[in-house]
Chain A
Amino acid sequence: MRSRIVILLLALVVLPLGLVGWLGRLFWQRESADWQLRQKAQAIQELQVRQQSLSDVIHAIEVRSHDLLNSIGSDQAALRNASSKQPLIRAAFLVEKSGKLKIPDPLNPDQLSDDDREFLQRTASIWSRGTLLGVQRQDESNGQSSAKADATHGWHTWYHQDGPHWLYWQRNSDESIAGFEIERMAFLSRLVGGLKSSDVSGCVRLVSADGEIWMQQGSFHPESDMPSLSTLPCAVPMQHWHCQFFAEPESGQGPEI
């Protein structure tokens, strides 16, 4: 009789407690999932702000390059001189309709400056294929690029020694292609320097295609092996670069109940 009473009393105490515990765990799991979703959404929002910021910078550079090429028109001297005045331009080039490189002209070595020679060395892999930029670009990006052989303008990315380099090009009315080699460090500086910042509870990073961190924002410093909570790619021609968000571990596990 006494044992029954004990069991009954225990049941009266334990069952409600168990029920409360179970409900609490359910609630905690749901809250935790909701919190993680909210945090992920916030991470994506933070990254989208940066992504948009980077896209704006890239677009502005694209527009400037486009306008400059239009203003230069067929003035070959102006095209040659563009690199000496424009901070974002390292070299200029002109490819004839036939595919022959006219500026700088490798067949006229006496008229080449040291900068011209270095440009030809850096871009040798492009010209040696003897094809137009649009076709190459499609090949190189494994179909990810929207550029076509008959595109009127676009970006071309290639790798040389210290990482990616970029050409911006435009097809002229006579089917020749004029363009610029973008000054890589100036370009990246505009991206890094122009990146919008706000108070971030985690950490936002701009990471290159080979994993190098170029910029970091936020008070949290993640370990090198910590996975990012969220990642977004940058806009073309930086599509192999990423913005990453890292949440602080204690907060990443969910809210305290």
Chain B
Amino acid sequence: MKTQFILSILCVGGLLAAPASAADPVEVRVDLAHPKIPAQKQYKTYLKVGLVGLQQKEKPARPPVNVTIVLDRSGSMSGPKMEHARQAAVEALQRLGGDDIVSVVTFDDGAESVVPATKMTNRDDIVAAIQKITPRGRTALFAGVSRAAEELRKFKTPQMVNRIVLLSDGMANIGPSSADEMGRYGVSLAKESISVTTLGLGLDYNEKLLAQLAQHSDGNHAFIKEPGELAAVFTEEFGDILSVVAQEMQVKITCPEGVRPVRVLGRDASIRGSTVEVAMNQLRAGQEKYVLLEVDVPAGTGSVPQLIGDVEVSYRRNDASAPKQVVAHSLATRVTDDRAVESSASTPILVEVAKQIGVEKQMIAVKLTDEGKTKEAEKVFLENAGTLQMLGQKYRSPDLYIQGNANVTLGLNTTSSSWQTYRNAGQTMANLTMTQNGSANNASNVNDLNGGQAVNVPALESMFNRPSQPSELSIKLGAPPSTIIMSMPQSSSGTIILKSSGGR
């Protein structure tokens, strides 16, 4: 019997599903974008299944971690980059305890296990091995990650948090270099409960490749412009690893006859007939990850509640080997008054929908830019920005403002010499939005790239500048950011006037 505990709650109006009991580290929330839907007509709405990692009052023993640091030691890493990378790795490892497993892999033309997987008991030896790493050769990134996965597998158990932290500053030039292929590899690693955090250093790394690997393995991705920021990023990443509260999360949504699941926004999902399945890897305390499902609901009759979907969520707690299951049902109420439909709408969910669709369009525009179609790209960027700004105003959402700002900046810089910097920054933000899901749950300025990457707010503000006055948005194309920011202060609303020095 795998199921330890089954909770079934009927959710009229698509409200909350499963409040966590005192010891539960995860709260499952099931919400509808429109708890009230029109009675006599077909309607499109969104079902959100959120998993929130709860901060525990009594701090439970954390699960042991099994981490591999993978360092690019190719020739381009020489100088301060390598110095900072070594130092960052050493500092990050100080956070680990004696029960944790660590390994260090480097890659140049090939891959080498500088520190084969071992317990963190012999720190001095590990540090000494890291300090000996010197740059040379080319960039066999795939070999590095492959070797890292082998090191993780040596001690991997279901009770451990398994993660690869990969730092690279260049293009993979030995082995596969296709982002799609690395994305597939990420999917495979996620099935093994291995997530990969990718840290892109400088302007010359393959952002798409690293982002795909991180996104599909449910890890984090960050763009770091200056080597001096590596230590902070590494430390925050390890903080994320050490605060995981649940793993191997599965969400299954089964829609009744007539309700058609259309697509899941921002996540890999399997939709087969009326059944939707999504897998997520790890959830840390203070983080929300969610599934946002677009559904077509058929016309109904009268006041009979409409079942939108049966939701099954399973996850494995740190202190249990068997998964816990939560079952809920999402129901919408039929109403004849369209204003009631509108007034019942959940603004937070609609904001998330807007963010995800905005990211999709941004991705399209970036692809156009990469293909040299800068005029078309600029048009898509600016249209997307307009929509995001409009919705930001409608929903009073600072997140949508900043996303819109980013698209304006990107759109105005498609031919700029700083394009690569803006691109990497914007794409990192987009990847974050796609997979992070729920930045607002974290009150601190340190936020997530899909759940955990440290970033600093001033850096983002310098690039995707926030409105300085409630009535005016000033786009300053100043210095590119050194790192990417995840969350915005919750403030500001009002009319937006777009201006630029170019008179657009």
Contacts and interface: CB of A to CB of B under 8 A. Distances in A.
A189 B191 contact: no
Interface stretch (A149-157, A178-186, A234-242): A178-186
B162 to A, nearest CB: 12
A190 B143 CA distance: 10
B188 interface: yes
A213 interface: yes
Contacts of B192: 87
Contact of A214 (B145, B175, B188, B272): B175
Given A185-B176, A215-B140, A221-B109, A113 B271 contact: yes
Given A88-B188, A216-B140, A189 B272 contact: no
Contacts of A213: 174-175
A212 B176 CA distance: 9
A183 B188 contact: yes
Contacts of B143: 192-193, 214-216
A177 B227 CA distance: 54
Interface string A130-174: 000000000000000000000000000000001000000000000
A237 B183 CA distance: 23
B121 interface: no
Contacts of A116: 272
A84 B279 CA distance: 9
Interface size class of B (residues with CB under 8 A): 20 to 34
Contacts of B149: 189, 193
Contact of B147 (A183, A184, A193): A193
Interface string A198-224: 000000000000001111111001000
Contacts of B342: none
Interface in B132-148: 137, 140, 142-143, 145-148
A111 B143 CA distance: 38
Chain A interface category by residue count: 20 to 34
Contacts of B271: 113-114
A189 B185 contact: yes
B270 A84 contact: yes
B178 interface: yes
B272 A185 contact: no
Contact of A221 (B137, B184, B270, B272): B137
Nearest to A81: B277
A215 B148 CA distance: 14
A253 B149 CA distance: 39
B135 to A, nearest CB: 14
Nearest to A110: B273
Contacts of A186: 184-185, 188-189
Contact of A87 (B109, B189, B270, B277): B189
A194 interface: yes
B175 A192 contact: yes
B188 A185 contact: yes
B112 A197 contact: yes
B185 A185 contact: yes
A113 B271 CA distance: 5
B204 interface: no
Contacts of A215: 110-111, 140, 143, 174-175
21 contacts: A84-B270, A84-B277, A85-B191, A86-B191, A90-B184, A115-B270, A162-B180, A183-B187, A184-B184, A185-B181, A186-B184, A189-B149, A193-B148, A197-B110, A197-B112, A213-B174, A214-B174, A215-B175, A216-B109, A216-B143, A217-B110
Interface of A: 84-88, 90, 110-116, 162, 183-186, 188-190, 192-194, 197, 212-218, 221
Interface of B: 109-112, 137, 140, 142-143, 145-150, 174-176, 178, 180-182, 184-185, 187-189, 191-192, 270-273, 277, 279
Given A84-B279, A114-B270, 19 more contacts: A111-B273, A114-B271, A183-B187, A184-B184, A185-B182, A186-B185, A186-B189, A189-B149, A190-B146, A193-B111, A193-B143, A197-B110, A214-B176, A215-B110, A215-B140, A217-B110, A218-B110, A221-B109, A221-B137
